[in-house]
Copies of this chain bind each other. A is one copy, B any other.
């Protein structure tokens, strides 16, 4: 008799396409040497952790009482940490947040789980814009919601407003946005966000509902070519942000992020309380304590994004010169490339033969594309290009 649930049995069988490719890459690296395997499967930061992080760890070990540094605090996190984060946001964006707008979380994944636990009634619908990070499916379903997908805007992976409008119903509780985007690297413009805010307000009035924008922002600090990432709460009233330092500081394993509950939400206080309680009831209890104190000392620090930018430029030029089609990413560290043949899986397999590990667009609800994570060494980018060329020629010969 199996003790595993039916749902999880299926999950064990399927597992994640990304994680599978990641494991395959590790296997091949052991066989062929890691310099000959081009693992573009997973979004594991490759840029050095800023020196300030280690300094900050050493500082908090000196400054703080150990029982408090490693102890329980409010479920929402240390008040002084939340206050510092609010102040830093206020300074950057001219907002007026305080500690009761910030809930510390176990990364952005934890933040999203908590937000959906806080807001979803059984059967509520959450809209996602294709392509999107597939893990949203779990965060929504685990908390009783239903995912509704909006058709992709293949022109630039912005929002297909025509389809979005059709997908909003009386059951729509939230729309997840993710800009800079995984997997496309697109950054939504202020105009796009205004249009989104207006549409949701209008539809909310029509249905007498309140539709929340849930903005997943682990890539907020990774924007290139001087593109500004607009600050959502300045544009859309009904918004929460799920932030993470995973990419900002190259510390994804530490699981540290926050939920920002905009004070323009009608019942912001109740939502803040609901999130703090959900942190507890979902089993997180609180965000890891020491690292809370550490990030509070690193609010003006980020990784050297020029390293990613160099990869981005070289890969984009290299691939488009070969003949690949791709919308130039403005942020994050992913490129969403059109498969040169219709069958994306065949393309992914062909790449794997050449020791290039990619994830098919189907994993992001957008078949016919592949995601390339360029958070790797520059050599890996450089040396993969001839292989990409071989693949292209062999597939189109």
Contact = CB atoms under 8 A, between A and B. Distances in A.
Contact of A113 (B120, B250, B253, B283): B283
A278 interface: yes
A254 B70 contact: yes
Interface in A241-289: 249-255, 265-267, 270-271, 273-274, 277-278, 280-289
Interface in A93-131: 106-107, 109-114, 117-121, 124
B284 A255 contact: yes
A30 interface: no
B212 A280 contact: no
Nearest to A44: B72
Contacts of A208: 1
B120 A5 contact: yes
Nearest to A288: B288
Interface string A159-183: 0000000000000010000000000
A150 interface: no
Contacts of A277: 8, 11-12, 15-16
A396 interface: no
A42 interface: yes
A173 B111 CA distance: 30
A281 B49 contact: no
**Which among A9, A250, A283, A287 has the greatest number of chain B C-beta atoms within 10 A?**
A283
A61 B254 CA distance: 14
Interface string A38-76: 000010111011000110011001000011011111010
Contact of A253 (B111, B253, B255, B288): B288
B286 A119 contact: no
A45 B48 CA distance: 36
Interface in A272-324: 273-274, 277-278, 280-291
A210 interface: yes
**Which among A114, A124, A288 has the greatest number of chain B C-beta atoms within 10 A?**
A288
Contact of A109 (B70, B112, B285): B285
A1 B204 contact: yes
Given A1-B208, A2-B210, A210-B1, A12 B253 contact: no
A138 interface: yes
A250 B135 CA distance: 33
Given A8-B277, A255-B288, A3 B212 contact: yes
Nearest to A266: B1
A198 interface: no
A142 B282 contact: yes
**Which among A7, A12, A109 has the greatest number of chain B C-beta atoms within 10 A?**
A12
23 contacts: A2-B266, A3-B119, A3-B271, A4-B274, A5-B118, A5-B124, A8-B274, A11-B274, A11-B277, A48-B67, A49-B67, A71-B252, A106-B283, A106-B285, A107-B283, A107-B285, A110-B285, A114-B283, A139-B283, A255-B284, A255-B288, A255-B289, A288-B291
Interface of A: 1-9, 11-12, 15-16, 19, 42, 44-46, 48-49, 53-54, 57-58, 61, 66-67, 69-73, 75, 106-107, 109-114, 117-121, 124, 135, 138-139, 142-143, 173, 204, 208-210, 212, 238, 249-255, 265-267, 270-271, 273-274, 277-278, 280-291
